[in-house]
Amino acid sequence: MQAARCPTDELSLTNCAVVSEKDLQSGQHVIVKTTPNHKYVFTVKTHHTMAAGSIGFNLPQRKWAGISIGQEVEVCNYNFDKSKQCIGAMTIEIDFLQKKSTDSSPYDSDKMAAEFIQQFNNQAFSVSQQLVFNFCDKMFGVMIKDIEAMDASILRGEPASGKKQKIEIGLMVGNSQVIFEKVENSSLTLVGKAKTKEARQTIINPEWNFEKMGIGGLDKEFSDIFRRAFASRVFPPDIVEQMGCKHVKGILLFGPPGCGKTLMARQIGKMLNAREPKVVNGPEILNKYVGESEANIRKLFAEAEEEQKRLGANSGLHIIIFDELDAICKQRGTGASSTGVHDTVVNQLLSKIDGVEQLNNILVIGMTNRPDLIDDALMRPGRFEVKMEIGLPDEKGRVQILHIHTNKMKNFNLLATDVDIKELAAETKNYSGAELEGLVRAAQSTAMNRHIKATSTVEVDMERAEKLQVTRADFKGSLNNDIKPAFGTNQEDYSSYIMNGIIKWGDPVTHVLDDGELLVQQTKNSDRTPLVTVLLEGPPHSGKTALAAKIAEDSQFPFIKICSPDKMIGHSEISKCQAIKKVFDDAYKSQLSCVVVDDIERLLDYVPIGPRFSNLVLQALLVLLKKAPPKGRKLLIIGTTSRKDVLQEMEMLDAFSTTIHIPNISTGEQLVDALELLGSFTDKERASIAQQLKGKRVWIGIKKLLVLIEMSLQMDQDYRVSKFLSLLRDEGA
């Protein structure tokens, strides 16, 4: 027969070869040989315009079979073996026929499959065949990718045997299954079940490992972020689509400086098989020209927008990381400037993350240590939905972090065997990840310093340098001298208050320390009272601050801070309130904290003349003394005052859960006991003082007593006792 063009457009869409009624009948199958080795199977349709001896092919058929117009081809009948050649499942690659007719509306693959079977029922199909498919008035170019024969058991009316057999040529029947798969990089969007479950590249990098990534102590935080932000992205898109589930688009990481927020965000990018994350420092967005800051935000999202328009649900994940988010996303309406640049930047960011034209292929990670400054609209679900506090690491976390930073030294045998990582982790309470890294660096520099000869020139002793090892002593030295935790216990802070130790001159002091120990145990162990407050009150110079500092020190809490008036000299009322609040805010970041509020009446600027005091500071203290710490945190507050009556009038006593009275030394026996404990006078001198004070009442604070003793000791030995007694008389003690 002679090859010709297909006579009509309608017939070209049928995927049939067209012949004259004189030659063949409609629905017959023929095999067309173009060369001895090239054979193609077609189903034929008849048309009255076709001349006898001619066979018409449409353009895709001519392309596929390599047939030119007027070519002589050999045509003979072809009969299908229906037990082996019926199509069970056929995979088809589909795309828009013409690029200019593309659109982003989704096409239901189930309806498409039903339409395809209806249009091409009882037709022959071959692997790699190309044809045109009309669906919803849109022209699609399709190519047969794969044909699977129908299970012979099903044809016999028996249960399926489960055997699958690939075939090259098959016959489409009513119960054949058609699966659509879009061409790579096509902008066609398919929905429904009759589309291929593509062999998707997993979003999580298989090499992902905490230790390798250099993140320690954040296992729980990582698993929480994973559950909220990535679980939906790991699932096949069609299941997520059927659930009507939207991906999380924003994560906010907040917490104290140096705890690994930036590190974590950086590593999330590596953990995912996404494109390289865009990292933006907050202040870089701002620009002095009007509209430029907003344009910078738009540029960040432009690539993701373009890809979503082009690929729809198959778009890859775009990660945008904002460091120091509080720099650009402050509460709207709070800026003093008239331009309102911050407000418009926040508005632009809000509309991009979850506006009217929302993107589903982005993940925005924001980091800040001031979440209180960020605009509320950014924090709602749909925007920065996952809020994760990256706090100070616990002991297990500190072990992980120290292992990460000492691993290389261990591998090269530069870490001495006496270094116990677990012991170090136990001693570095309240250290952040950055401070632990600093501690390792400080120990390394101490070890290196041992091998430097400081002669007229600075040289490294190469012989000994070969044997360089970082020892336990290096770590201990760095721990005591170099690196102190920002949210920790400043030992110098409270050790100055207990400079002369605690002198247990009588039962009252022992009782106070015992009660303090009970309160510490209550704070540690009780789940019902996460906040314990106690007021130590007594006359001036009775040693209240020293006892408060001693109770705090003995508690061994990881966070101990003394809030004292001497650090707030010259502060305005507002800045004093902020300084006090900062101490409490820092305390809330630790698992166990103790805050000593020293000399409360001085903090309140109280003077009896007038009388006057700072109501602003009073109200702030009243609120903070009653505010329970966050869940899982515990706080002990110890207050000291010499004016219980004043606090009573200010209604502040009720803010403390318990009050402990610190008395002065009130008997001669107690005073002599104190002298003996201090070891200041000789036995003979003490006996003389005891004789003078026998049966007499005294009234003196231990702090004042120390001053009088030291003053007396400056005299000659013969006059010391008389001077001491006269000083006691002068003090009215």
Residues carrying an active site annotation = 544-545, 598-599, 626, 703
Q: Where are the beta strands (DSSP E) in 587-727?
A: 592-597, 634-641, 658-661, 665-667, 697-700
- Pairing mode, strands 29-35 and 38-46: antiparallel
Residue bearing tokens 């949210």: 487
| Total length of the chain | 733
Eight-class DSSP state of 150 = P
| Main-chain phi, psi angles of 30, to 5 degrees | -130, 155
On the question of a cis peptide bond just before residue 629, with omega within 30 degrees of 0, the verdict is no
Buried/exposed 418-433: b ≥16 CB within 10 Å, e otherwise: ebebeebbeebbbbbb
Task: Note whether 204 and 271 are within 8 A (CB).
Answer: yes
- Pairing mode, strands 250-254 and 362-368: parallel
Q: How distant, in Å, are the alpha carbons of 409, 454, 469, 544 from that of 460?
A: 19, 9, 15, 53
Residue 622 CB burial class (10 angstroms; 0-12, 13-18, ≥19): middle
Q: How distant, in Å, are the alpha carbons of 196, 238, 496 from that of 145?
A: 12, 21, 83
Q: Any bridge partners for residue 87, and if so which?
A: 149
H or E element: which one contains 423? helix 421-427
Q: Where are the beta strands (DSSP E) in 289-441?
A: 318-323, 362-368, 386-389
Task: Note whether 51 and 20 are within 8 A (CB).
Answer: yes
